[in-house]
Structure 1
Amino acid sequence: MIIRILGEGQYDVPESALDELNELDGVVDSAVRAGNEDAFADALRALLDGVRRVGTPHEVESLDSSDLILPMADASLAEVQDLLADDGLIPG
């Protein structure tokens, strides 16, 4: 799976890591729905760090499309609210 972090690039993430990323995504989702700006910033940072940790940078010159797009690290709670689907940023 290819996950893009806006403003940063794409990462190849193994399917086996999706459960871990979904847990981190659930914390982001909860913070957004609660309107808790501090918890949101920490949770988003943890999710993006998780993608970087379990993924490998995707070839920069590749024109492959991303399977998922995550907000940049400095995204605001309001910006992420607009991106959230019913099951968070990472479906599943």
Structure 2
Amino acid sequence: MSGSSEEEHARADLVVAGARCVTVLDAARTEIDDGWVAVRDGLVVGTGSGPPPEAAETLDAGECLVTPGFVNAHHHLFQNLTRAFPPMTDKPL
């Protein structure tokens, strides 16, 4: 969440820094060059640019693309259901 308080960032477990961030946390899909993402308890607690906040662990993203809050909606869940059925053939079982 861009604009989170400094106190929230200071409590981060992990900061991914030096990244090109494309946030999906806002309707504008904000792009941040040389940005950072702060994570606490597995949740994104902040994004921003400039010097990253202190955290228990800092990961240098090396200018890689980071997409905080993005959930991959592409999946093949239906295939799990088809595993229980034999293949369709014209031969009797």
TM range, normalised to the smaller chain? under 0.3
More strand by percentage: 2
Structure number, greater radius of gyration: 2
TM-score, normalising length: structure 2: 0.25
Structure with more contact order per residue of length (Cα contacts < 8 Å, sep ≥ 6): 1
More helix by percentage: 1
